[in-house]
Structure 1
Amino acid sequence: MTDYAGVLAVREGRVVLVRERYEEWEDEQWSLPSGAVEPGETPAEAAVRELLEETGLRVRVDQLSLVAEVVVESRDGAARSTAYDYRAEVPDGDFAIDDPDSSVQEARWFLPAEAIPLVGAVPYPPLSQPVAAHLEGAGPTRWTFTYDDAAVAFLDRVYEVTRSAL
């Protein structure tokens, strides 16, 4: 399985979310700018790249702080993926979406109270729950989502979840 990275970009008390459309989702959702870690990249480098592609906003690796590490694994251990959620202050910059996947439709700033229900509505708990928890004030956390069958985990959304401090 692929590893992923994303950035909770913050400016003047607001966070940026991107409106995305994926075939597996019934409709568009607002989520954290994120994507796959490419070969030769660190998770932090991937997060910086994904933020730039999906929003046009620029941060440096040294501006990132890890707020959640999310492991998704099959109960039998045959499949495993890790996602790294970072936070970064973004002092300036305008939106300029250049998403090579063409899944991002829009980027917008939200107050955390506005962002929590939007992120919470994402139909993939490993993406939605850690980000919503951080927006609600949780400190850095490690999440593990364990599922019974890799083929149906996303569709059935049947997870056993554990959470601990990083």
Structure 2
Amino acid sequence: MARPRLAVRAAILRDDRLLMVNAYPPDYESELWCLPGGGAEPGQSLPENLEREVWEETGLRIRVGAIILVNEFRDSDKGFHQVDLIHRATLTDGHEIVLDDPEGVVNRARWVTKAELAKLHHRPRLLSRAVWGQHAAWYDPMEEILW
């Protein structure tokens, strides 16, 4: 199995509705919904990665908050393992979603209430508890190592 892929995702609430995306290539149909975000690139902080990913997938600008959930998943058959760090995030400007994902993976987006999320096929399973709960983990921003 390969090393885990590190990814960041944004839990964005607007009017008590959570932004969810369907992130599958057009030729692969799935009803599985998740938060916007994606793979972390080396040399960028977690917040920088998340701001970039959300912009690329939705056209929205965000302010990144605390990590509220760590989600881990794998596909043993394909040797894939991913760790998602899910952050609270708020919109900084504009509310219009523009699906312009350069990789063509995000094909739908929607704002859902807590009750709607419960009926939606989504991951991670603890998402509702994390988003509408008050618990948050601390994050010490990335810094250069000083020798």
Same fold (TM over 0.5): yes
The counterpart of 2:14, out of the listed 11, 14, 28, is 11
- Give unmatched runs, 5+ long, in structure 2: 75-79, 138-147
How many Å apart are 1:50 and its aligned residue?
A: 1.5
Between the two proteins, what is the percent identity of the paired residues? 29
What secondary structure sits across from 2:125 in the alignment? helix
Asked whether the 8 Å contact 2:57–2:100 carries over to 1, the reply is yes
Q: Per chain length, whose mean CA-contact separation is higher, i.e. which structure has more relative contact order (CA < 8 Å, sep 6+)?
A: 2
Asked whether the 8 Å contact 1:56–1:97 carries over to 2, the reply is yes
Which residue does the alignment assign to 2:68?
67
Change over 3 Å in CA distance of 1:72–1:30 after alignment to 2: closer
Return the structure number with greater helix share. 1
* AA at the equivalent of 1:35: G
How many Å apart are 1:51 and its aligned residue?
A: 1.3
Change over 3 Å in CA distance of 1:116–1:48 after alignment to 2: farther
Q: After the TM superposition, which segments of 4 or more aligned residues of structure 1 sit over 6 Å from their partners?
A: none
- TM-score by length of structure 1 reads 0.64
| CA deviation map 1:76-122 (0-9, x unaligned) | xxx9643210112226421112212211112111112212332xx24
Asked whether the 8 Å contact 2:7–2:40 carries over to 1, the reply is yes
| CA deviation map 1:146-165 (0-9, x unaligned) | xxxxxxxxxxxxxxxxxxxx
Aligned length: 129
How many Å apart are 1:13 and its aligned residue?
A: 0.9
What secondary structure sits across from 1:116 in the alignment? helix
Query: 2-side partners of 1:41 and 1:50: how far apart?
Result: 12
| CA deviation map 1:11-51 (0-9, x unaligned) | 1111111122259x762322111211012122222221111
Superposition pairs for residues 8-157 of structure 1, below 5 Å?
Answer: 8-21=11-24, 27-60=30-63, 63-71=64-72, 81-90=82-91, 92-93=93-94, 94-118=96-120, 121-122=121-122, 127-135=123-131, 137=133, 139-140=135-136
Change over 3 Å in CA distance of 1:32–1:115 after alignment to 2: same
What secondary structure sits across from 1:90 in the alignment? strand
- Give unmatched runs, 5+ long, in structure 1: 74-78, 142-166
- TM-score by length of structure 2 reads 0.71
| RMSD value, Cα | 2.9
